[in-house]
Structures are given as structure tokens and as C-alpha cells.
Amino acid sequence: MELPHKGVYTRLQRSEIHGIGVFAIVDIPGETDLFSEVESEMVWLKEEELKLEQLPEAIRKLYEDFCVVKEKDGETLYGCPDNFSNLKISWYLNHSQTPNVYCDEDYNFITLRDIRAGEELTVDYDTYSL
């Protein structure tokens, strides 16, 4: 059995940027896939089937705060965890226009440079979400 900390580089803690953020707990080399050890499915839902305006505000806020939003074939799609109780730590990355992490086409989060322990990890939301 592997220990639960294998492949873990980060933790959640209070952020000066916004609310909760993702912070390095060890030094992380550049080009590291931060969350490769975590298995979680992202599902894509059409905006029209969500009927967001009909949902209670607290539920609607989950979609606003944690979904990847994109346009495809003229439709707005929301990418979210298969269940909001399955949010993995990457959903808590805060936005920056000068990020130290990028999101690839498969929604993997990769460090752009070496990261020091204690540093907050950020990503540019505009590169993968509307």
C-alpha cells in the first residue's frame, strides 16, 4: 500500500488573493503535473439543461465558483466534477494574470516554473474558461 501523501505537493489554506487557495507544501520543479495522482471525472453539462436561474442561490453559486465554462457548437457548456462533493484541490486554484501554473488541453495543471514551498499556486482562468 502506498502512503496517502505520495505525489502530494499542495494543501489548501487561506489566501490573500481570494478566500481559500492552493499552496505548495514542498518545493515543486517546473513542468510538474500537480494532481496526476488524483482521479476525478469532469462532466460537461449544457447550460439549457442546468436551468441555473431556477436553482437556489447557494446551488447556483457552486456552478459559478467551480465550473469551467466554454462554448462548443453554439452552446454554453459547464464542466464540473461528477459531484460537487468530489471537488479535488485543483478546483481551488486562484486566478492570476501572471500565473505559475498552466492548464493543458486535458485540464491537467502543470507548473510553469520551479515553485517554492509556501508559495500560492495560481492559474489564468481565461486560458481555459469563459
Same domain? 23 vs 56: no
Q: Using CA atoms, how far apart are residues 123 and 113, in angstroms rounded to an integer?
A: 12
What pLDDT is recorded for position 6? 85
What pLDDT is recorded for position 74? 94
The answer to whether 63 and 81 have CB atoms below 8 angstroms apart is no
Same domain? 79 vs 94: no
Query: Quick check: is 3 in a domain?
Result: no
Same domain? 23 vs 57: no
Is the whole-model pTM more than 0.75?
A: yes
Same domain? 103 vs 75: no
What pLDDT is recorded for position 110? 97
Query: Quick check: is 1 in a domain?
Result: no
Same domain? 108 vs 71: no
Q: Where are the alpha helices (DSSP H) in 1-130?
A: 47-50, 57-66
Same domain? 32 vs 95: yes
What does the pLDDT look like over 47-84, one tens digit per residue? 999 999 999 999 999 999 999 999 999 999 999 999 99
Same domain? 46 vs 31: no
Same domain? 70 vs 44: yes
Locus of grid cell 500560492: 120
What pLDDT is recorded for position 75? 95
Residue 120: which domain range?
8-38+89-124
What does the pLDDT look like over 13-47, one tens digit per residue? 999 999 999 999 999 999 999 998 777 778 999 99
What pLDDT is recorded for position 39? 72
Same domain? 43 vs 83: yes
Query: Quick check: is 67 in a domain?
Result: yes
All three cell numbers of 10, joined, read 499542495
What pLDDT is recorded for position 89? 92
Closest CA to 81 of 93, 96, 67, 102: 67
Domain count, the chain: 2
What pLDDT is recorded for position 92? 95
Pairing of β 120-123 and β 94-95 = parallel
Query: Quick check: is 2 in a domain?
Result: no
All three cell numbers of 3, joined, read 502512503
Q: Using CA atoms, how far apart are residues 127 and 130, in angstroms rounded to an integer?
A: 8
4 pLDDT tier (thresholds 50, 70, 90): confident
